Amino acid sequence: MPASRLPDPAAVRAILAIQVSRIGDTLLSTPTLRAISSHFPQARLTVLGHPNRCEVFEHIPFIHAVGPITKKTALWQGWMPGKPYDLAFVFGYDEPLVRYALRVARGVVAMRQQDAALNACLLHAASEPAPKSRHAVYMQHALVEDLNLPIENERLAYTVTDAESAWARQTLADKQRAGAFPLIGLQIASFPTKGYRDWPVENFKALTDLIRARYPQAHFLIFGGPLERERTLSLAGQLGAAATHFAGTLSLRQTAALMNCLDYYIGVDTGPTHIMGALGRPMMAMYHPSSPAHMLKPLQHPALTAVDHPLAGQVGPEASMAGLTVESVWAQLEPALANLKAA
């Protein structure tokens, strides 16, 4: 569809975007949302997301309102007369979300649906890109790539508020050892359906031993959710006073606020690692061979060490992350830590 089908930016005052997905895809869509906001500078941008993840969008400067929605709750919404939005952009393929957008917006951009009649109602039906044909940011951007809305800033977006920063500093003052440096965050596990991305706990322990041998005052913050609590507690127990265990005790935004205080972060490919990528602080991310770094690493990141498995791009989920050795990770981590400066 030609770009001329889009309304004149000067005439657009209210835009809706719907992105119901996991933390990673939620964040990976923020460069596209920034591009939409930039193209329609006079419009108020409302973003609806999954109830458990929509808080990722809160306080981002180019997003003006945030709320929850699911494909189930969408069935009951948007039936009042009138359409409050000039435009709506629907990420993903959930038909109930597309139909909701059509009820509340005068023009809807969505991924092409299986229903031809539904596609005919859309302002633009975007074609699905081939799997893993481009970086994940541009997989999300496929929604608008034919509409002359280019990504000018590839950085993921996330904003920690002043109040959240104050909470994090106080929490660390209460829990962290005096004089600890560097303060390193650890995310040792992905979510259960992507467990093959996890680096073995014993490898993380061996890596922390190497760090502590070089930096005796190093302190580790262990992040994660309740489902990996057994593993995170095991690592915390082995590290003793050198670690503070936060896994399963924090909200998403509390986790991000603490991450924003880190000197360094080390994590597997999962949601919190995408958050750290958005924060732009020094970090190392480890990538499974089925999802190599060039497909998922934070773009335009100022202090990233992206570590690929030696079989990157050659095998699928059956490959073990144990094939990424502690020695190879330390070889890349050591110079990155040497560049850090104590506060």
Q: Is 3 helix (H, G, I), strand (E, B) or coil?
A: helix
Could you tell me how far CA 48 lies from the centroid of its own chain?
A: 16
Residue 280, CA distances (Å) to 93, 138, 264, 302 in order: 30, 19, 11, 6
Whole-model pTM: value is 0.94
Read off the pLDDT band of 342 (50, 70, 90): confident
What pLDDT score does 301 carry? Answer: 96
Outline where 126-181 has alpha helix (H): 136-141, 162-175
Mean of all residue pLDDT scores within the chain: 94
> Which among 228, 270, 250 has a CA at the least distance from the CA of 55?
250
> Which among 272, 281, 204, 199 has a CA at the least distance from the CA of 236?
204
The per-residue pLDDT for range 260-312, each reduced to its tens digit, is: 999 999 999 999 999 999 999 999 999 999 999 999 999 999 999 999 999 99
Q: Is 20 helix (H, G, I), strand (E, B) or coil?
A: coil
Q: Does domain 3-141 have CATH number 3.40.47.10?
A: no
What pLDDT score does 191 carry? Answer: 82
What pLDDT score does 180 carry? Answer: 87
Residues of the chain with CATH 3.40.50.2000: 3-141, 162-338
pLDDT-above-70 percentage for the chain:
98
pLDDT-above-90 percentage for the chain:
89
What pLDDT score does 343 carry? Answer: 64
What does the alpha-carbon distance between residue 3 and residue 199 come to, in Å, rounded to a whole number? Answer: 45
The per-residue pLDDT for range 51-67, each reduced to its tens digit, is: 999 999 999 999 999 99
Residue 120, CA distances (Å) to 79, 94, 127, 143, 147 in order: 20, 16, 14, 16, 17
In degrees, to the nearest 5, what angle opens at C-alpha 270 toward C-alphas 144 and 98?
35
Contact call for residues 227 and 208 (beta carbons, < 8 A): no
Contact call for residues 64 and 46 (beta carbons, < 8 A): yes
What pLDDT score does 1 carry? Answer: 38
Label residue 193 exposed, middle or buried (CB < 10 Å: 0-12, 13-18, 19+).
exposed
Please give the torsion angle defined by the CA atoms of residues 53, 219, 264 and 49, in that order, rounded to the nearest 10 degrees: 0
What pLDDT score does 232 carry? Answer: 96
Comparing 298 with 3, which gets the higher pLDDT?
Answer: 298
Q: Which residues pair with 219 in a beta bridge?
A: 183
pLDDT exceeds cutoff 80 at 2: no
* Joined tokens for residue 197: 């991305």
Please give the torsion angle defined by the CA atoms of residues 55, 58, 63 and 64, in that order, rounded to the nearest 10 degrees: 110
The DSSP 8-state label assigned to residue 80 in this structure reads S
Please give the torsion angle defined by the CA atoms of residues 207, 343, 274 and 56, in that order, rounded to the nearest 10 degrees: 140
Q: Is 73 helix (H, G, I), strand (E, B) or coil?
A: helix
The per-residue pLDDT for range 67-120, each reduced to its tens digit, is: 999 999 999 999 999 999 999 999 999 999 999 999 999 999 999 999 999 999
Q: Is 243 helix (H, G, I), strand (E, B) or coil?
A: strand
The per-residue pLDDT for range 187-223, each reduced to its tens digit, is: 999 988 888 999 999 999 999 999 999 999 999 999 9
How many Cα neighbours within 13 Å face the side chain of 299?
20
* Joined tokens for residue 306: 């992206």
Quote the CATH superfamily of domain 162-338: Glycogen Phosphorylase B; (3.40.50.2000)
pLDDT exceeds cutoff 70 at 3: no
What pLDDT score does 321 carry? Answer: 95
